[in-house]
């Protein structure tokens, strides 16, 4: 996948054919060492991929209607920045947080991640109104999965 194709995808996703504005979409770009291994890992967690934007350098993981994760082979990722790539197994670059519909879904996603080779850097946390747990993927990226009780946010 060329750099121009990735940038064109973002542009084409943000406008309709008649030029009117569409909802903003989020594309999180993450460097990976082994694309096939990463695809296998996230497939085991239930994610799917857009084959139109998948080749030997990158794939577009579908998280939601307007949320995508571009998994980019490290050498290809480097074409987008002049900065060093963070070694996510030693430093934290970002924490990707995903909401779920219930507490059980939080535990289920973390269970699937661990079964697919992830680790859990901390125990689950229960704040009463919010429950969260997370995992570190095969490349060291941190993912937090959480459920927030509707209407349960403390009023300040």
Domains and CATH numbers, the chain: 1-80 (3.10.180.10), 86-156 (3.10.180.10)
> What's the pLDDT at 15?
52
DSSP state of 133: E
> What's the pLDDT at 154?
67
Q: Which strand (E) or helix (H) includes residue 47?
A: none
Please list the residues that pair with 31 across neighbouring strands.
72
Mean pLDDT on 126-144: 96
> What's the pLDDT at 11?
46
- Residues of the chain with pLDDT > 90, as a percent, come to 77
- pTM, rounded to two decimals: 0.80
Asked if the model's pLDDT at residue 6 lies above 70, the reply is: no
> What's the pLDDT at 4?
54
SS3 letters across the chain: CCHHHHHHHHHHHHECCCCCECCCCEEEEEEECCHHHHHHHHHHCCCEEEHHHCCCCEEEEEEECCEEEEEEEHHHHHHHCCCCCCCCCCCCCCEEEEECCCHHHHHHHHHHHHHCCCECCCCCEECCCEEEEEEECCCCCEEEEEEECCCCCCCC
Instruction: Kindly report, residue by residue over 36-84, the tens digit of the pLDDT.
Output: 999 999 999 999 999 999 999 999 999 999 999 999 999 999 999 999 9
Q: Quick one: pLDDT band at residue 146, thresholds 50, 70, 90?
A: very high
Mean per-residue pLDDT of the chain = 89
- Residues of the chain with pLDDT > 70, as a percent, come to 85
Which CA distances in Å does 73 have to 14, 22, 40, 59, 118? Answer: 25, 29, 14, 9, 19
């Amino acid at each position: 996948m060329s750099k121009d194709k990735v940038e064109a995808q973002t542009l084409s996703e943000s406008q309709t054919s008649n030029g009117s504005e569409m909802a903003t979409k989020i594309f999180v770009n993450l460097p990976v060492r082994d694309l096939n291994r990463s695809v296998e890992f996230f497939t085991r967690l239930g994610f799917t991929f857009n084959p139109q934007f998948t080749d030997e350098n990158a794939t577009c993981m579908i998280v939601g209607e307007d949320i995508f994760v571009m998994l980019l082979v490290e050498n290809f990722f480097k074409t987008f920045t002049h900065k060093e790539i963070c070694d996510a197994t030693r430093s934290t670059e970002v924490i990707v947080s995903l909401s779920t519909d219930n507490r059980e879904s939080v535990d289920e996603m973390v269970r699937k991640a661990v079964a697919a080779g992830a680790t859990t850097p901390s125990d689950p946390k229960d704040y009463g109104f919010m429950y969260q747990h997370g995992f570190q993927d095969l490349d060291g990226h941190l993912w937090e999965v959480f459920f927030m009780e509707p209407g349960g946010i403390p009023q300040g």
